[in-house]
Amino acid sequence: MSPFLHPNQLDRAIEALRKDLLLEGGPQISTVRNYNFAILPYAPTDEFPLRERINRLSQELRDAGWNTASIALNKLLLQRLRGLGDDYLQATISREKRLYEKGLARSLDHIKNKVIEEIEGPNGLAADVVREIERLLAPAPGDSSLLPKSNRTVIFIGRAGALFPFFRTSALLKHMADHTRNVPIVLLYPGQVVGETGLKFMNVLPADRDYRPRIYR
């Protein structure tokens, strides 16, 4: 069987996720206490079908009275890089161009190292995601509750392909733990499932088995 989810397999995985979110006793997408994360893998070439299916699921949940939200990792990555300033970016680009003349591998390694040092760790891109989650979960004006409909809220994290080859999503989830108010978080993961718990980002990087969340497939 292919390690990628074919469209019908993707539909089954999303249906399993939908059922677990809508359980009568509340959403149960994880078997780990106080770690309410799940991962939905898909073939990188199925980016647009995946988005269409997630949009359809989100609409169904909203019709059932849920709050749904999405976080686009590509936007957060670009915001962080732009925040470094034009001088920093121009210097990095100029050096990358000079290194390219000596070989693609050297220029790519330069860019990877420069980006990684800005986005890795708990104060990197993970902190940007946590801040976005806090913004999404902030109570509306005039709402006295800390988290309205906390057991009927789900956040999808997508566009993870933008992090390739700079960042592993396992590190992202690790630094997000304990910062999500236990609201269900679903990472949309472009890559292959390897074995029971391994994931191969974009079908290129070596399989990473450092994943605790449930993998829907």
Q: Is the previous residue joined to 148 through a cis bond, with omega within 30 degrees of 0?
A: no
How many domains is the chain partitioned into structurally? Answer: 1
What mean pLDDT is reported for the chain? Answer: 84
pLDDT tens figures, 166-188:
777 777 888 888 888 889 999 99
The DSSP annotation for 128-187 comes to: HHHHHHHHHHSPPTT--SSSTTGGGEEEEEE-GGGGTTT--HHHHHHHHTTSSTT--EEE
Q: Is residue 204 part of a domain?
A: yes
Question: Per the domain annotation, does 78 fall within a domain?
Answer: no
What distance in Å separates the CA atoms of residue 95 and residue 206, rounded to the nearest whole number? 28
Residue 96 is assigned to a structural domain of this protein: no
Check whether 202 has a pLDDT greater than 60. yes
Q: State the residue range of the domain holding 142.
A: 7-72+120-215
Tell me whether residue 155 is in a domain. yes
- Can you list the positions of beta strands (E) in the chain? 37-42, 67-72, 153-158, 185-194, 198-201, 214-215
Residues 6+ apart with CB under 8 A from 118: 80, 81, 84, 124
* Mean pLDDT computed over 25-42: 86
In a domain, 2, yes or no: no
In a domain, 83, yes or no: no
**Most confidently modeled range among 16-20, 33-37, 171-175:** 16-20
189 lies in some domain: yes
* 104-119 and 73-82 helices, crossing angle to 10°: 90
State the pTM of this model: 0.85
Residue 144 confidence (pLDDT): 47
Residue 129 lies in a domain: yes
Q: Return d(Cα 207, Cα 191) in angstroms, integer.
A: 10
List, for residues 112-159, the tens digit of each pLDDT value.
777 787 888 888 999 999 999 999 888 766 654 444 455 689 999 999
* Residue 79 to residues 11, 76, 85, 172, Cα–Cα distance (Å): 33, 5, 11, 17
Structure tokens at 205: 């990087």
